[in-house]
Structure 1
Amino acid sequence: MPTLSPEYLENLEYDESAEACDIGEVVAFGTVFMSIFYSVVFAFGLVGNLLVVFALTNTKKRKSITDIYLLNLALSDLLFVATLPFWTHYVLSEQGFHNAVCKLTTAFFFIGFFGGIFFITVISIDRYLAIVLAANSMHNRTVQHGVTISLGVWAAAILVAAPQFMFTKQKENECLGDYPEVLQEIWPVLRNVEANFLGFLLPLLIMSYCYFRIIQTLFSCKNHKKAKAIKLILLVVIVFFLFWTPYNVMIFLETLKLYDFFPSCDMIKDLRLALSVTETVAFSHCCLNPLIYAFAGEKFRRYLYHLYGKCLAVFCGRPVHVGFSPPYSSGKKPRHSCYCQPEEPGPLEKLSFFRNIWDNLKL
């Protein structure tokens, strides 16, 4: 991972009888397929995530902790998609990278990869705290708290990504892992296990638990919009599962291949092809993050509406008024409240509780 690495692009594999297994056709198909697909992912991922960044940074509305996490998720995805043109050029070119470009591209790729997964997980935890434990968390979910957590997530992403790129270097026009002799057999296995566990299994378990508890809480709410919120939650989990599961299964099978579980040449070809296809599907998830986590939320649509008005003012050369109604007016309850607090708070706490629930239902 990524399969664009020359470690996965050699034309010859060997079966148990030591006869050469020519997978040149599979590699050629994968090169063309991935180059086209990554170009599309880069274009859509760049536009969508830049919109998120511009919308969140060009509004006068006070930021929330959710905005901080969405902004960092967009930055992670931008860091990730920014490496795709370099990998595409690398696959199509015979010159390879300079050593510095090789190291930086690989490092940014994996930092963006793990950063995006981790921020998706943090967003699910934040929603859990805001909805299931709303009475206890309403005073702790501040912007300062969000900034601190985000810095910690970036540090974790760099730490977890380090084993994936720390031995990467340019060697004979190839950007690949040049492991010490003592680590040549075990390090690729550890890389794949880390990607499977920290990049998929653990985040999926955390997300599933958080959103399961959120759905339980919403079912007890007297709110006619809870069905829409539940559908959005299910969409988040299902899309994450569908896009990332096939790729992680193939990473696991790739690990087994290192132990000669697939001696047949045909099986090796099928594995290589499936790995390329599932990788492109998984990496395209970064294009969907703005749609799922931002564009689908009512608050973020108001941000975009405000940004749209500013753009019109620039293009028209004069101020253009674009108005929208806030979710609730000052001093009043939101029109649709979720009455499901676990305790009986006082009047002011109850109003803050309702607003906290409502804001997080709409993201």
Structure 2
Amino acid sequence: PLQGLELADLGFRRSSLASGWRTATLTMPTDSVPEDFEYDDSAEACYIGNVVAFGTVFLSVFYCVVFAIGLVGNLLVVLALTNSKKPKSVTDIYLLNLALSDLLFVATLPFWTHYVLSEQGLHNALCKLTTAFFFIGFFGSIFFITVISIDRYLAIVLAANSMNNRTVQQGVTISLGVWAAAILVAAPQFMFTKEKENECLGDYPEVLQEIWPVLRNMEANLLGFLLPLLIMSYCYFRIIQTLFSCKNQKKAKAIKLILLVVVVFFLFWTPYNVMVFLETLKLYDFFPSCELRKELKLALSVSETVAFSHCCLNPLIYAFAGEKFRRYLYHLYGKCLAVLCGRPVHAGFSAARSQRSRQGSVLSSSFTYHTSDGGVSLL
């Protein structure tokens, strides 16, 4: 019966938080077993205290680092987009919402850090809200990355047909639809979450106790990874084909950036989703060995940290690669020097330099014109 404690989870196996690190089961003594008692080795409780101790320190430090970097990076994206005096493009709308979803995601990390370290856990209301914001931000980030890929496909591969369709108003409408989809998809992950005996975990009705964790894991694998990866791969494959057929001299740089987007997404999220799938198999007793279960739990936490740090890279990949964000950062750096050191802010981007930067951008000249998005941030 103690193995049931290891299956307690939050969302799609937040095992390192709600179910893994705070749950240490002890090996039961066997010296007082009656003679007529048939001992079952497979039912022996599994001691995971060493994994718990490692996770408490490791996760606390990691979540603090991800929170700091993700907060600063995504706030810079929001400030750059909201303070820009240039007309907003549909790409800017998607990038702004991507940054907001990442901010919603990282905002929950201090609460999870408190949850790991504190014996009191989280109060019921805070447990529900933190879990809900976590999964809404998680799926929102994945969905907006996918929407950005589709938008790039429309702007480059189907440029002639999409010039009148890719408007800011349409971008706002699609963004609202993506947020609604993120809430809808995230609902099964947190709808049964509650605080119970200082643990923040899923408390399912008896009829759903066996099937609901499996459905949640499948949803996370399919809608949170496989489907977005397939869409991104197809869109960027067609974009690369289009770039090879054009005469833009900077197309090599664009192709490298596209490959970076797909490869980083694949490398950061694949190990975690593989471990989520293995956790699903563990629900069906595919891994009876105690040592193997401990290794799976440890591997899940490590892959989880790698996957969650992807929110820190989104500003670098999707935003700061663009010229407008580099100019904003340079301007912000100059203002900081002016305030801290009393130095005047020099116009680092003169008219000639700005013109050269535009000419050297990845999708410049006539090709940028056909995308109807002259302020492209991603490419």
Name segments (4+ residues, structure 1) moved above 6 Å: 13-16, 316-319, 326-330, 335-340
Distance 2:230 2:368 in 1: 30
- Offset at 1:352? 7.4
Which residue of 2 is the match for residue 347 of structure 1?
Answer: none
Q: Does 1:158 align with 2:174?
A: no
Residue in structure 1 matching 2:46, options 17, 21, 29: 21
Which aligned pairs between 1:6-45 and structure 2 lie closer than 5 A? 6-9=18-21, 10-12=23-25, 17-45=42-70
* Alpha-carbon distance change, 225 to 99 in structure 1, aligned in 2, over 3 angstroms: same
Would the aligned equivalents of 2:163 and 2:371 in 1 still touch at CA under 8 Å?
Answer: no
Q: Decide which moves more: 200-209 or 305-314.
A: 305-314
Which aligned pairs between 1:1-363 and structure 2 lie closer than 5 A? 1-9=13-21, 10-12=23-25, 17-309=42-334, 311=336, 320=345, 322=347, 324=349, 353-354=369-370, 356=372, 359-360=375-376, 363=379
- Match of 1:169, SS? strand
Distance 1:156 1:337 in 2: 32
Would the aligned equivalents of 2:149 and 2:235 in 1 still touch at CA under 8 Å?
Answer: yes
- Offset at 1:153? 0.6
After superposition, the CA RMSD in angstroms is 2.7
Normalising by structure 2, we get a TM-score of 0.86
- Match of 1:21, SS? coil
- Say how many residue pairs are matched: 352
Normalising by structure 1, we get a TM-score of 0.89
Would the aligned equivalents of 2:319 and 2:378 in 1 still touch at CA under 8 Å?
Answer: no
Q: Decide which moves more: 35-44 or 350-359.
A: 350-359
- Match of 2:42, SS? coil
- Offset at 1:172? 1.1
* Alpha-carbon distance change, 281 to 316 in structure 1, aligned in 2, over 3 angstroms: same
Would the aligned equivalents of 2:104 and 2:134 in 1 still touch at CA under 8 Å?
Answer: yes
- Offset at 1:16? 6.4
* Alpha-carbon distance change, 302 to 272 in structure 1, aligned in 2, over 3 angstroms: same
Q: Which amino acid aligns with 1:182?
A: V
Would the aligned equivalents of 1:222 and 1:338 in 2 still touch at CA under 8 Å?
Answer: no
- Offset at 1:138? 1.2
Task: Summarize deviations over 1:79-107 as a string: whole Å, max 9, x none.
Answer: 10110110011011000111110000000
- Offset at 1:310? 5.1
* Alpha-carbon distance change, 322 to 220 in structure 1, aligned in 2, over 3 angstroms: same
Give identity over the alignment, percent. Answer: 80
- Offset at 1:354? 3.8
- Offset at 1:336? 7.6
- Offset at 1:300? 2.2
